[in-house]
């Protein structure tokens, strides 16, 4: 008599952005449905799948280091995600420690691929190609194409979107989760390789998004972070470029959700109506994650982007007129080919006047397959480092000053963790992972009992101190208590 087959264990390790996290949870759902024991701990796993990041050199090195560490556990190791898609056979040839390198087209057959790896069979890795060419040039025709787009899979395309089973399995139990609006990008920024391996821009059906939001809320999620390569393009391929403005209030009304946060906004596409929707819709964080990248017009033109110091300041001012305490963050590249000292001075002027809550700074390096890699006017490494150090030092000072500006403000804090008596959360202007946080402390005069707070609680708190970009605040009122877990 044959016994029950042993349970196969797979660990999913996710690197890079929140979009990758959503993709990992799609893979987790597929594997769970096929009987795998799914987790995030490589120890004791039969197979470790590393969902890699392929954005910049440091991220790629982190991915390789993680793959090598996974190989040391004795488990079979599989590379997936952006780096695997971007390099395919080249990565497989250079990294024999990986038992397989999977592209996005393998995701729908993930169980077959992993079972093949466990049997010791070899996997022929794909030769990378520009995934933009897989979809029609005209955006409104893309939804008819049968192309694998991670995070967009459906169980039954013939069932109405709002009735479909959600193909997702959460890999953590925190009160915050990402919701993928779209994948791919139609922009042609000179420094970015992402569109080539993520493909052209494709929006998800709004009814499908609402159904997934309801499902996430039932798992204990209290804040939704809307992610994509370019959230401001959402709906353009569905015939409605203003669809995000309409979707935000619908998501905010989902039972159990207390905060919706939009991210990855392109300044050139951030219309007045969207600025207003983010600033004034109840339940939507007055928070602007704007991809400025620089503020000097000559540099932006060479980057194939649009804007200027004055235009960006006007955009921020339009948001703050509607919501004076609105949060704003952005990333910037220094040392782009052709950048002059005057360009850096212009960037410094913008940063000084912009009053951003969080600033990310990257030092430019050539990326395979990008237009910028072939541009003239390359900056010496020593000069890039000097400019980078200058901008980073200023950014830290300015963000600390911006935090101090919030002393005495009342902020709404979503509690994330309550470890060892320390209660930490985030105010509206603080996105998870990338921005600062707020530590809640007790006060003898006023406040909510800290010992009663749980992850997912939303409280109103008074800012009493700062530590760099982080806030210290006293909770004075419970706005919405997290539901008791069943």
Averaged pLDDT, 178-194: 95
Selection from 333, 323, 256 nearest residue 300 by Cα: 333
Say if residue 192 carries a ligand binding annotation: yes
Least confident range of 434-438, 458-462, 467-471: 434-438
Q: What is the pLDDT of residue 156?
A: 65
DSSP SS3 for 419? strand
d(CA 325, CA 335): 32
Which residues are registered as beta bridge partners of 334? Answer: 363
d(CA 44, CA 11): 9
Q: Model pTM?
A: 0.94
Tokens representing residue 118 in the block:
């466990």
Distances (CA, A) of 384 to 293, 294, 297, 400: 15, 14, 19, 24
Averaged pLDDT, 399-406: 97
244-260 residues labelled b (16+ CB within 10 A) or e (exposed)? bbebbeebbebebbbbb
End-to-end CA distance of the chain: 40
Which residues are registered as beta bridge partners of 459? Answer: 413, 478
- Model pLDDT for residues 236-270, shown as the tens digit of each residue: 999 999 999 999 999 999 999 999 999 999 999 99
Per the prediction, the chain carries an average pLDDT of 94
Percent of the chain with pLDDT over 70: 97
Say if residue 399 carries a ligand binding annotation: no
d(CA 257, CA 259): 6
pLDDT exceeds 60 at position 340: yes
Query: Please, what are the domains in the chain?
Result: 9-127 (3.40.50.12160), 135-405 (3.80.30.20), 409-480 (2.40.50.140)
d(CA 299, CA 243): 31
Selection from 63, 85, 333 nearest residue 195 by Cα: 85
Q: What is the pLDDT of residue 2?
A: 45
d(CA 296, CA 300): 6
Element (H, E) at 227: strand 223-227
- Which residues 6+ apart lie within 8 Å of 311 measured at CB? 267
**Cα-atom radius of gyration of the chain, to the nearest Å?**
23
Percent of the chain with pLDDT over 90: 85
Q: What is the pLDDT of residue 460?
A: 97
Per-residue confidence band for 155, with pLDDT thresholds at 50, 70 and 90: low
pLDDT exceeds 60 at position 4: no
Least confident range of 52-56, 211-215, 467-471: 52-56
Per-residue confidence band for 445, with pLDDT thresholds at 50, 70 and 90: confident
pLDDT exceeds 80 at position 189: yes
DSSP conformation letters of 4-49: PPPPPEEEEEE-SSHHHHHHHHHHHHHHHHTT-EEES--TT-SEEE
Distance of CA 198 to the CA centre of its chain: 14
Q: What is the pLDDT of residue 63?
A: 92
Q: Identify the burial level of 141 via C-beta atoms within 10 angstroms of its C-beta, where 0-12 means exposed, 13-18 middle and 19 or more buried.
A: exposed
Q: Kindly give the interhelix angle for 243-252 and 206-218, rounded to the nearest 10 degrees.
A: 20
- Which residues 6+ apart lie within 8 Å of 106 measured at CB? 80, 113
Per-residue confidence band for 449, with pLDDT thresholds at 50, 70 and 90: confident
Least confident range of 183-192, 412-421, 438-447: 438-447
Q: What is the pLDDT of residue 354?
A: 98
């Amino acid at each position: 008599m044959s016994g029950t087959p042993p349970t196969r264990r797979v660990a999913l390790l996710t690197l890079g952005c929140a979009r990758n996290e959503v993709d990992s949870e799609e893979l987790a759902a597929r594997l769970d449905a096929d009987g795998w024991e799914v987790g995030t701990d490589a120890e004791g796993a039969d197979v470790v799948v590393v969902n890699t990041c392929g954005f910049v050199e440091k991220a790629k090195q982190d991915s390789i280091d993680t793959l090598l560490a996974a190989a040391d556990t004795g488990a079979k190791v599989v590379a997936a995600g952006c780096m695997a898609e971007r390099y395919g056979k080249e990565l497989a040839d250079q990294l024999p420690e990986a038992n397989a390198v999977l592209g996005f087209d393998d995701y729908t057959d993930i169980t077959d691929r992993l079972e093949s790896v466990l049997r010791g069979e070899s996997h022929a890795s794909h030769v990378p190609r520009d995934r933009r060419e897989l979809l029609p040039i005209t955006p409104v025709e893309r939804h008819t194409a049968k192309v694998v787009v991670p995070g967009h899979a459906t169980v039954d395309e013939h069932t109405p979107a709002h009735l479909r089973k959600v193909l997702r399995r959460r890999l953590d139990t925190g009160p915050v989760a990402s919701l993928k609006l779209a994948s791919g990008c139609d922009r042609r920024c000179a420094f970015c390789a992402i569109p080539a391996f993520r493909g052209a821009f494709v929006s998800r059906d709004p009814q499908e998004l609402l159904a997934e939001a309801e499902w996430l809320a039932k798992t204990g999620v209290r804040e939704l972070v809307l992610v994509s390569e370019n959230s401001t393009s959402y709906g353009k391929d569905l015939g409605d470029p203003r669809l995000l403005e309409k979707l935000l209030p619908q998501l905010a009304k989902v039972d159990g959700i207390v905060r919706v946060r939009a991210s990855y906004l392109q300044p050139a596409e951030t219309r007045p109506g969207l600025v207003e929707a983010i600033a004034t819709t109840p339940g939507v964080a007055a928070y602007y994650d704007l991809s400025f990248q620089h503020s000097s017009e000559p540099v932006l033109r060479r980057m194939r982007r649009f804007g200027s110091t004055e235009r960006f300041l006007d955009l921020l001012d339009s948001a703050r007129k509607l919501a004076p305490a609105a949060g704003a963050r952005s990333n910037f590249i220094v040392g782009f080919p052709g950048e002059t000292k005057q360009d850096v001075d212009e960037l410094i002027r913008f940063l000084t006047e912009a009053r951003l809550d969080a600033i990310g700074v990257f030092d430019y390096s050539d990326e395979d397959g990008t237009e910028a890699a072939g541009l003239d006017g390359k900056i010496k490494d020593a000069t890039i480092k000097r400019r980078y150090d200058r901008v980073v030092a200023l950014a830290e000072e300015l963000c600390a000053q911006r935090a101090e500006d919030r002393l005495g403000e009342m902020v709404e804090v979503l509690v994330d963790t309550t470890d060892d008596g320390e209660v930490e959360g985030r105010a509206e202007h603080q996105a998870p992972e990338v921005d600062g946080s707020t530590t809640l402390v007790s006060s003898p005069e006023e406040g909510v009992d800290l010992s009663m707070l749980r992850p997912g609680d939303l409280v109103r708190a008074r800012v009493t101190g700062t530590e760099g970009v982080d806030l210290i605040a006293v909770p004075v009122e419970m706005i919405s208590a997290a539901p008791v877990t069943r």
